[in-house]
């Protein structure tokens, strides 16, 4: 049999994560902040969709027709199950990149997403994808791409190579991939106990290794143990994408759009003196010691003039998605924690606190003059988006169209919560994307769907599957042992869910 996995880890299942950066609606605020016209997305494609949580949520929650490909048949089967149950119309295939990218029956796309793929695949597959982008991304279309970056991996990359070599050379015959991960980590930690000079020269490695030991072994297997694994610089990726007629539009992470969160005044001034945009991006990666880039690229970006940009920004709608009373006036970036100006944010949050969609233009009209200036308001919204306090909102027609499919998908995911705890997102027809919902909260939502109307009834419904899955409640950092204490703590969480979380999920269309 041919090596169908082409050097990529295939023995273990990938995690069931949801990635909001793959939501095309999310590009609006960020691209407009850079003065770039975002496309109207009717067709989209995710290459390497993993378990398919993101592609299915986005297909169900919007009017976009999604296509996707993953080489792993088990993952594709799960993704196709979600597509069939929800009726979201997603076309999800199990093929190699070469097979999928050369298909003649695919449409051209307004949006293509590559999350966590580029750094882990062979040069041949990178070439197939680059050709696909050149041929299949429409003019004005957006590419989302993420990849490991040289600057942040400089010290850790040799350790990763050592672990991968250990897995290939010293693992016991027949040992499964998770055992190989554990064995390689043990070997490296024992080596570090000897105080090698490498550790003395790179003291941060000890913290990184401790963090690795706390992570999901399935994730580590995919992240660190692929045969092809190569961090690259922005300068190296740019010519590859430029050959496909793609222009760099900006970072897909919110803090990069608010420079003081990541950069000191001296660093901002230093970078401003670099005339070449590519060299400036590469230098910025050193400033923040970036390990992972997440970027939007546009095929033939159309720059907006000041009037066009302001008009488009004022039309963007947003929704508060965090409990109003629990939002702290602190924000964290690469420089650490910073204080948010209470006098500026308080009136903005007061307007958003009704958990209804608001356009930026409407907020400008209703805010005090000192915080209503568009540039200042935009910076505050980017900070709140970074804190996961706000989310973009679709137009009303798209929301209505998406409700049936999201309801079917969410019901299916909630029913799965009776027997598993690793599906932590549900679909919102309002945002066109996903929202994180804890396992216990999923059980409460399922209880409501089953006709239970009070927090006490939700607890009675949730306790048997919660207990059967080996879960236990915590109080003051300690696990509770008695059923009485667990039920009391569950009721406290159910009451809090009823008061603070449920209204937000209802505003998002996740709950009725």
Residue 188 corresponds to which tokens in the numbers above?
């490296």
Residue 358 corresponds to which tokens in the numbers above?
């608001």
Residue 250 corresponds to which tokens in the numbers above?
């900006």
On whether residue 308 sits in a domain, the answer given is no
On whether residue 2 sits in a domain, the answer given is no
On whether residue 255 sits in a domain, the answer given is yes
> Is 430 found in the same domain as 487?
yes
pLDDT in tens, 313-348: 999 999 999 999 999 999 999 999 999 999 999 999
pLDDT at residue 496 is higher than 70: yes
On whether residue 5 sits in a domain, the answer given is no
> Is 339 found in the same domain as 325?
yes
Would you place residue 3 in the very low, low, confident or very high pLDDT band (cuts 50, 70, 90)? very low
392, 423, 448 - which closes a domain? 392
User: What separation, in Å, do the N-terminal and C-terminal C-alpha atoms of the chain show?
Assistant: 50
pLDDT in tens, 344-365: 999 999 999 999 999 999 999 9
> Is 493 found in the same domain as 419?
yes
Q: Which of 147, 128, 148, 149 is nearest to 244 (CA)?
A: 128
Least confident of 3-17, 349-363, 489-503: 3-17
On whether residue 436 sits in a domain, the answer given is yes
Classify residue 271 by burial, with Cβ atoms within 10 Å: 0-12, 13-18, 19+.
Answer: middle
392, 417, 452 - which closes a domain? 392
pLDDT in tens, 472-489: 999 998 999 999 999 999
> Is 376 found in the same domain as 247?
no
pLDDT at residue 9 is higher than 70: no
pLDDT at residue 33 is higher than 80: yes
Bigger pLDDT: 227 or 194?
A: 194
Least confident of 78-87, 202-211, 368-377, 418-427: 202-211
> Is 134 found in the same domain as 78?
yes
> Is 499 found in the same domain as 428?
yes
On whether residue 457 sits in a domain, the answer given is yes
- Residue 218 CA, distance from chain mean position: 18
pLDDT in tens, 147-168: 999 999 888 888 888 888 888 8
Question: What pLDDT is attached to residue 434?
Answer: 97
CA dihedral over 6, 7, 10, 16, signed as positive or negative: negative
> Is 94 found in the same domain as 31?
yes
Contacts of 413 (CB under 8 A, 6+ apart): 82, 423, 426, 442
Mean pLDDT, to the nearest integer, of 373-377? 95
Question: What pLDDT is attached to residue 219?
Answer: 74
pLDDT in tens, 382-411: 999 999 999 999 999 999 999 999 999 999
Contacts of 324 (CB under 8 A, 6+ apart): 349, 352, 353
On whether residue 135 sits in a domain, the answer given is yes
> Is 140 found in the same domain as 30?
yes
Give the CATH number for residue 279. Answer: 3.40.50.150
pLDDT in tens, 439-452: 999 999 999 999 99
Least confident of 58-62, 197-201, 461-465: 197-201
pLDDT at residue 2 is higher than 70: no
Task: Count structural domains, the chain.
Answer: 4
> Is 488 found in the same domain as 412?
yes
β-strands 317-320, 390-392 pairing:
antiparallel
Mean pLDDT of the chain: 92
How many residues does the structure list for the chain?
A: 512
Residue 321 corresponds to which tokens in the numbers above?
């998605």
392, 411, 439 - which closes a domain? 392
pTM listed for this prediction? 0.90
Mean pLDDT, to the nearest integer, of 359-383? 95
Strands (E) across 71-208 are located at: 91-93, 109-114, 137-148
Would you place residue 222 in the very low, low, confident or very high pLDDT band (cuts 50, 70, 90)? low
> Is 257 found in the same domain as 128?
yes
The range of the structural domain enclosing residue 245 comes to: 20-151+230-299
> Is 191 found in the same domain as 103?
no
> 3-class DSSP state for residue 422?
coil
Contacts of 128 (CB under 8 A, 6+ apart): 97, 98, 101, 102
* Other C-beta atoms lying within 10 Å of the C-beta of residue 126: 18
Question: What pLDDT is attached to residue 7?
Answer: 41
Would you place residue 11 in the very low, low, confident or very high pLDDT band (cuts 50, 70, 90)? very low
Strand order in the sheet with 390-392: 358-359, 317-320, 390-392
> Is 454 found in the same domain as 354?
no
Question: What pLDDT is attached to residue 267?
Answer: 97
Q: Which helix (H) or strand (E) holds 45?
A: strand 43-47
Q: What percent of the chain has pLDDT over 90?
A: 80
On whether residue 4 sits in a domain, the answer given is no
pLDDT at residue 10 is higher than 60: no
- How many angstroms separate the CA atoms of 159 and 391, rounded? 38
């Amino acid at each position: 049999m041919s090596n169908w996995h082409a050097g990529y880890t295939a023995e273990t299942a990938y995690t069931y994560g949801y990635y909001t950066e793959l939501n095309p609606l999310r590009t609006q605020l960020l691209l407009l902040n850079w003065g770039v016209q975002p496309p109207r997305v009717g067709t989209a494609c995710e290459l390497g969709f993993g378990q398919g949580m993101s592609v299915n949520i986005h297909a169900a929650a919007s009017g976009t027709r999604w296509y996707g490909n993953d080489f792993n048949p088990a993952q594709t089967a799960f993704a196709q199950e979600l597509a069939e149950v929800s009726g979201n119309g997603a076309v999800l295939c199990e093929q190699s990149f070469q097979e999928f990218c050369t298909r003649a029956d695919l449409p051209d796309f307004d949006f293509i997403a590559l999350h966590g793929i580029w750094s882990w695949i062979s040069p041949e597959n990178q070439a197939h994808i680059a050709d696909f982008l050149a041929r299949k991304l429409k003019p004005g279309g957006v590419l989302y791409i993420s990849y490991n970056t040289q600057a942040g991996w400089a010290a850790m990359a040799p350790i990763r190579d050592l672990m991968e070599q250990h897995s290939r050379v010293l693992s016991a015959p027949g040992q499964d991939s998770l055992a190989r991960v554990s064995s390689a980590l043990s070997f490296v930690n024992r080596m570090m106990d000897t105080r090698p000079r490498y550790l003395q020269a790179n003291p941060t490695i000890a913290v990184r290794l401790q963090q690795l030991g706390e992570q999901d072994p399935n994730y580590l297997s995919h992240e660190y143990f692929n045969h092809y694994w190569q961090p690259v610089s922005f300068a190296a990726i740019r010519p590859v994408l430029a050959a496909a007629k793609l222009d760099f539009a900006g970072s897909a992470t919110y803090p990069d759009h608010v420079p003081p969160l990541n950069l000191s005044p001296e660093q901002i001034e230093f970078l401003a003196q670099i005339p070449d945009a590519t060299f400036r991006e590469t230098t910025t990666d050193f400033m923040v010691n970036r390990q992972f880039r997440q970027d939007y690229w546009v095929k033939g970006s159309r720059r907006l003039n000041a009037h066009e940009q302001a008009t488009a920004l004022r039309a963007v709608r947003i929704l508060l998605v965090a409990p109003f009373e629990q939002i702290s006036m602190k924000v964290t970036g690469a420089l650490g924690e910073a204080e948010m100006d209470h006098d500026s944010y308080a009136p903005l949050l007061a307007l958003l606190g009704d958990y209804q969609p608001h356009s930026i233009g409407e907020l400008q009209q209703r805010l005090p003059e000192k915080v209503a200036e568009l540039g200042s308001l935009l910076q505050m919204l980017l900070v709140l988006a970074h804190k996961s306090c706000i989310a973009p909102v679709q137009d009303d027609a798209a929301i209505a169209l998406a409700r049936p499919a999201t309801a079917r998908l969410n019901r299916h995911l909630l029913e799965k919560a009776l027997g598993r705890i690793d599906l932590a997102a549900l679909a919102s027809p309002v945002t066109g994307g996903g929202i994180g919902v804890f396992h216990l909260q999923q059980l409460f939502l399922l209880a409501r769907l089953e006709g239970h109307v009070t927090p006490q009834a939700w607890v009675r419904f949730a306790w048997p599957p919660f207990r059967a899955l080996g879960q236990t409640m915590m109080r003051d950092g300690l696990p509770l042992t008695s059923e009485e204490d667990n039920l009391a703590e569950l009721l406290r969480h159910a009451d809090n869910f009823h008061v603070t979380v449920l209204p937000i999920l209802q505003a998002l269309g996740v709950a009725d």
